[in-house]
Amino acid sequence: MKLRQLLLALTVAATGVSGALVTQTASAQAKEQFFPVLPYRTGAYAPNGVPWANGYSDYLRLINARDGGINGVKITTEECDTGYATDRGVECYERLKSQHPGAIYQPLSTGITFALTEKAPTDKNPLLTGGYGRSESSDGNVFKWNFPLMGTYWSGADIIMQFLTKKENGNLKGKKIALVYHDSAYGKEPIPLLQERAKMQGYELMLLPVTAPGVEQKATWLQIRQARPDYVLLWGWGVMNSAAIKEAVATGYPREKMYGVWWSAAEPDVKDVGAAAKGYNGLVVTGEGGKVIDDIKKFVFAKNQGTGPADEVGTTLYNRGMVSAALAVEAVRRAQERYGKGKVMNGDQIRWGMENLAVDQAALTKLGLGTVMRPISTSCQDHEGSRAARVHTWDGSKWVFSSDWIEADSSIIKPLVKQYADKYAAEKKLTRRTPADCQS
């Protein structure tokens, strides 16, 4: 009896091993790189979340259709709608990571980013938080798995303040600056930078939080009408942005004195206000369409594989999603240069690729992205890679660039990054990475 039980156990074990080998072999033969997507096509923020998600999805489809994947490795994706809710975002992350270990996650939410920052190192899933997330996570010596590529909120706030300083002939002393912000981790992010500049430049900073989702702002704009600040900075998202501009119109606050961060300066924010929003300004980190837009129309939409409406292609948030996908693809491509072209990369390898991005103008031009995004280069110390933006202004019917590229001032931001990164490291009992770790 014991012999029969032993033989049965050995047979079951062998079958299990055989099944595992077959699965691994099939996976290896498939050569598929998984890209999870955590968008929000539902909820109060859907009008802004949808075009980003469509741009992201269409670019990945383009890489498969035009290029045959990343050096022959086909891209597969799966969406899990977060509704911009942190708890749902974590649930989506947990579900997708259990199915596909080792992948780039783009939470598209600062709140979700905060929640996933402590999970990513254990799970070995790099977080690409392009233009959002923790501003201090640009310090790769502390935040090994976070990559706020193409600008943090401190960079964005600094760029706006540089623009306003130049507008005021280099002197903001005695001026009153109001920050109307989404009362969340996202909205609070620029405050340390604005406070630091206030100490340096002598302006008064008014902090005006708006409860999510931000439809009701009458009390906020009553304060603005009474205080009459020289400028209003808008750190909103979704319906909050158009509501703020409508209240500015109603209270008579000049739109030309309003400046939104890059998440508050897209077509959905002004189209319902139309001509009345004329003069409103905001940051943008992407350029005009170019060849990649033509390629998406040719290889994706012409084959009826576009994710959304064709007339959305090339709009501000669509381009932002497209560039976010491009950054993820180039991280995998960079990883392949070290670990093997034509191979599926794991989370550790992708993280190395993100930390060693070297996408110059020639590479961007080859990809059709030469006019859409700027070159980007990362390192162990710098997980932001690029920190420049332009101001564009709504002329009543379309956005028009109203500044050249402006680089964030590292002399102000770097000390702030180190201060907050060191604080985080102390709280979490982390040690800064060694030179040897930076090479791994």
What dihedral angle (degrees, nearest 10) is formed by the CA atoms of 197, 203, 204, 208? -60
SS3 405: coil
- pLDDT score of 73 more than 90: yes
User: What number does CATH give the domain 32-152+291-387+416-438?
Assistant: 3.40.50.2300
Q: What percent of the chain has pLDDT over 90?
A: 90
Asked whether 384 and 361 are in contact (CB, 8 A), the reply is: no
- pLDDT score of 5 more than 90: no
Question: Do 32-152+291-387+416-438 and 154-286+392-410 come out as alike in CATH topology?
Answer: yes
- pLDDT score of 375 more than 50: yes
Across the range 345-355, mean pLDDT stands at: 97
Across the range 247-257, mean pLDDT stands at: 97
Across the range 301-309, mean pLDDT stands at: 96
Across the range 279-307, mean pLDDT stands at: 95
Q: What is the CA radius of gyration of the chain?
A: 23
Q: Given pLDDT bands bounded at 50, 70 and 90, which one contains residue 175?
A: very high
What whole-number distance in Å separates Cα of residue 299 and Cα of residue 59?
A: 10
Taking the alpha carbons of 243, 249, 255, 258 in that order, is the dihedral positive or negative?
Answer: negative
Q: In this structure, what token pair is assigned to residue 119?
A: 């999970």
- Please work out, in degrees rounded to the nearest 5, the angle formed at the alpha carbon of residue 193 by the alpha carbons of 215 and 86: 45
Domain map (residue ranges) of the chain: 32-152+291-387+416-438, 154-286+392-410
Secondary structure E strands in 1-51: 32-37
Kindly tell me the number of DSSP H helices and DSSP E strands found in the chain.
17, 14
Q: In this structure, what token pair is assigned to residue 267?
A: 């077509």
φ, ψ for residue 281, nearest 5 deg: -120, 160
Q: Given pLDDT bands bounded at 50, 70 and 90, which one contains residue 338?
A: very high
φ, ψ for residue 122, nearest 5 deg: -70, -40
- pLDDT mean across residues, the chain: 93
Rounded to the nearest angstrom, the gap between the alpha carbon of residue 363 and the centroid of all alpha carbons in its chain is 21
Q: What is the pLDDT of residues 12-57, one digit of tens each?
A: 333 333 333 333 333 444 689 999 999 999 998 999 999 999 999 9
Q: Given pLDDT bands bounded at 50, 70 and 90, which one contains residue 133?
A: very high
* pTM for this prediction: 0.91
pLDDT of residue 30: 64
pLDDT of residue 2: 39
Across the range 355-379, mean pLDDT stands at: 96
Across the range 420-428, mean pLDDT stands at: 98
Q: Given pLDDT bands bounded at 50, 70 and 90, which one contains residue 439?
A: confident
Q: In this structure, what token pair is assigned to residue 429?
A: 């009992």
Across the range 150-165, mean pLDDT stands at: 98
Q: What is the pLDDT of residues 402-412, one digit of tens each?
A: 999 999 999 99
Q: Would you tell me the crossing angle of helices 291-299 and 46-67 to the nearest 10 degrees?
A: 80
**Correct CATH for 154-286+392-410 of 3.30.930.10, 3.40.640.10, 3.40.50.2300, 3.30.365.10:** 3.40.50.2300
Secondary structure E strands in 43-94: 74-79
SS3 181: strand
